[in-house]
Copies of this chain bind each other. A is one copy, B any other.
Amino acid sequence: MKKFVNDPENFVDEMLDGIYRAHPEVTHAGDDLRCFVRSKQVPGKVGLVTGGGSGHLPLFLGYVGENMLDGAGVGGVFQSPSSEQILEVTRHVDQGAGVLYLYGNYTGDLMNFDMAGELADLEGIKTATVVGRDDVASSVPGEEHKRRGVAGIFFLYKAAGAAAARMMPLEEVARIAEKASARTRTIGVALSPCIVPEVGKPGFEIGENEMEIGMGIHGEPGISRDALAPADEVVDRMIERILAEQDYTQDKEVAVLVNGLGATPLEELYILYRRTAQRLEAAGAQIRHTFIGEFATSMEMAGASISVLQLDSELEPLIAAGGDTPFFKKLAN
């Protein structure tokens, strides 16, 4: 196992200790390092809380900061945070305007966030929930509600974060997050597996010349395993799935996220972006915002994902807004 770890059991807490040491703008609510919150909350603002397993940095906690999220429940590697941790974060970030839960569509997260929301309700904290389900490769037709949440959740954070920072009420922030969710599509491709520290070996195998389109960020099975093709052909096969679900006749403007899963060089992400841009433009889209880099990883997995958010006049300025977290900085444009 080629990893920088001490005792694998301490992987998450040592990582968190490193983050808190480096970035005083974030801290933990109470004694539990895994209850991750902004050091200063904004009075009267809707609180935005996410959460999920570790091993996906900058997802999830990396989006806690100005114009973005207010807290995150931090689970073990590829494990959900507990309902108690989510509740503790909820209590901390609630500033009287309620709390929106924004997370990916996974069974453990659904269960624990729902439970936390019920407990918060008993304490008089109003919550609402929007889940990311952007992975087009993770459902059969007609079961789109079962799709997994992957890198495209970044757009939900960005839109809802900017909306909440403008002091919109909970119902509005939730409506905007839901709209961003409905308009976001992602598809991924994996070239190599990743290693969970406590397991110590790869979670699955991919042959030396194979790729798997549609694989999930925890190694969930994709839709096809084929010989690795040239970069442009890989993009062509992926983007078809997104183009089939978006029509740029009316709303032409899009935001594009080309995300590295961990080990893929940034150079290669730009080669993928090049073809993605060619194909989107050929389909009538106008690329208004680009995000290229590592936004949602799977430890040291080699691979990438492409996400497209179809903008409208409400979402565009929210995506254009600035953001400032230890892991994501954007100047307003």
Contact = CB atoms under 8 A, between A and B. Distances in A.
Given A192-B2, A330-B329, A267 B54 contact: yes
Interface of A: 2-7, 11, 14-19, 21-23, 54-55, 57-58, 191-192, 208, 228, 230-232, 234, 262-274, 277, 290, 292-294, 297, 299-300, 302, 304, 324, 327, 329-331
A330 to B, nearest CB: 7
Contacts of A4: 231, 234, 264, 268-269, 271-272, 304
A2 B273 contact: no
A5 B230 contact: yes
Nearest to A326: B292
A7 B292 CA distance: 22
Nearest to A272: B4
Contacts of A230: 5-7
Given A55-B267, A263-B262, A14 B274 contact: yes
Contacts of A231: 4-6, 14
Contacts of A6: 230-232, 271
Nearest to A302: B2
Given A5-B231, A273-B22, A329-B331, A265 B268 contact: no
Nearest to A211: B2
Nearest to A281: B21
24 contacts: A2-B191, A3-B191, A3-B265, A4-B234, A5-B271, A6-B230, A7-B230, A11-B267, A11-B271, A14-B271, A15-B267, A16-B270, A18-B271, A18-B272, A18-B274, A18-B277, A22-B290, A57-B265, A57-B267, A263-B263, A263-B302, A266-B294, A293-B327, A329-B329
